């Protein structure tokens, strides 16, 4: 579901994306990047400038975070002073790209494109998660176990949405942790499910054996599916 260009959940909130999700959109026909905490779908930009050599640095960056291209204070492209000319010019270590002017006046440069793509919210699709975590979900009716990556900022309803591809009737279950019903409008942390990733890493417990586990109990009611 979309609100303008932004992807929103069925609950109306702007979606969070993990770096792994952004990384799957890594072709010219489906190109996402993230920068300064936001996620952008630049596929329409690629369609508009298809064949333009200035598109190459963007294509090479497909699916990655390009925050290092930007000044976090101005939220604009980084600049530097050219030692030969003394002029302040955009810093493009991978080569000049779309909407960046040439270093010198040129008749081939037409600044009539409007707002540069990095300031155009029509490409914005969501927010990049500051921290992701893995959780295990066990369906007590079928004994199915599933480990999924979620964004720490997401509430349980949004996590339920992620789980729907494994169980289309997930909304017809009661979600519990340690035998306590979870508040679906709260995050994992707010529900008393701490993020123990750092502890797992320190103790070299990198498998799924000790992940926090959520149990689903069937309500015998498919009206929510």
Q: Does position 13 have pLDDT exceeding 80, yes or no?
A: no
Q: Does position 223 have pLDDT exceeding 90, yes or no?
A: no
Q: What is the pLDDT of residue 93?
A: 87
pLDDT digits over 49-95, tens only? 999 999 999 999 999 999 999 999 999 999 999 888 888 899 998 99
For residues 107 and 44, state if they share a domain.
yes
Boundary of a domain, candidates 128, 161, 188: 128
For residues 83 and 177, state if they share a domain.
no
Q: Alpha-carbon torsion 120, 18, 90, 57, what sign?
A: negative
Overall domain count for the chain: 2
CB atoms within 10 A of CB 40: 24
Q: What is the pLDDT of residue 209?
A: 66
pTM for the full predicted model = 0.86
C-alpha radius of gyration, the chain, whole number? 22
Q: Which domain CATH number covers 113? A: 3.10.120.10
187 and 155 Cβ atoms separated by less than 8 Å:
yes
Residue range 88-103: mean pLDDT, rounded: 92
Beta strands, E only, the chain: 2-3, 6-7, 16-17, 26-27, 30-35, 38-41, 70-71, 76-77, 79-81, 88-90, 124-128, 132-139, 145-151, 173-177, 180-181, 213-218
pLDDT digits over 20-60, tens only? 999 999 999 999 999 999 999 999 999 999 999 999 999 99
Boundary of a domain, candidates 128, 144, 177: 128
Residue range 93-99: mean pLDDT, rounded: 94
Q: Does position 96 have pLDDT exceeding 70, yes or no?
A: yes
72 and 81 Cβ atoms separated by less than 8 Å:
no
Q: What is the extent of the structural domain holding 177?
A: 132-218
Q: How far apart, in whole angstroms, are the C-alpha atoms of residue 119 and residue 194?
A: 36
């Amino acid at each position: 579901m979309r609100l303008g260009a932004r992807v929103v959940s069925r609950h109306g909130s702007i979606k969070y994306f993990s770096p792994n999700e952004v990384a799957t959109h890594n072709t010219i026909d489906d190109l996402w990047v993230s920068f300064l905490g936001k996620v952008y779908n630049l596929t329409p930009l690629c369609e508009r400038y298809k064949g333009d050599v200035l598109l190459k640095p963007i294509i090479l960056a497909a699916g990655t975070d390009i925050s290092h291209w930007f000044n976090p204070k101005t939220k604009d492209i980084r600049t530097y002073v050219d030692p030969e000319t003394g002029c302040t010019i955009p810093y493009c270590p991978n080569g000049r790209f779309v909407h960046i002017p040439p270093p010198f006046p040129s008749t081939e440069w037409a600044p009539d494109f409007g707002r540069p793509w990095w300031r155009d919210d029509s490409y914005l699709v969501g927010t990049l998660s500051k921290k992701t975590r893995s959780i295990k979900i066990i369906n007590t009716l079928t004994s199915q176990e599933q480990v999924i990556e979620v964004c720490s900022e997401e509430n349980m309803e949004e996590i339920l949405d992620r789980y729907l591809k494994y169980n289309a009737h997930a909304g017809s279950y009661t979600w519990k942790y340690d035998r306590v019903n979870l508040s679906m409008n709260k995050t994992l942390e707010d529900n008393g499910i701490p993020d123990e990733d750092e502890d797992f890493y320190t103790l070299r417990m990198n498998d799924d054996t000790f992940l926090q586990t959520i149990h689903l109990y069937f309500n015998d009611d498919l009206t929510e599916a």
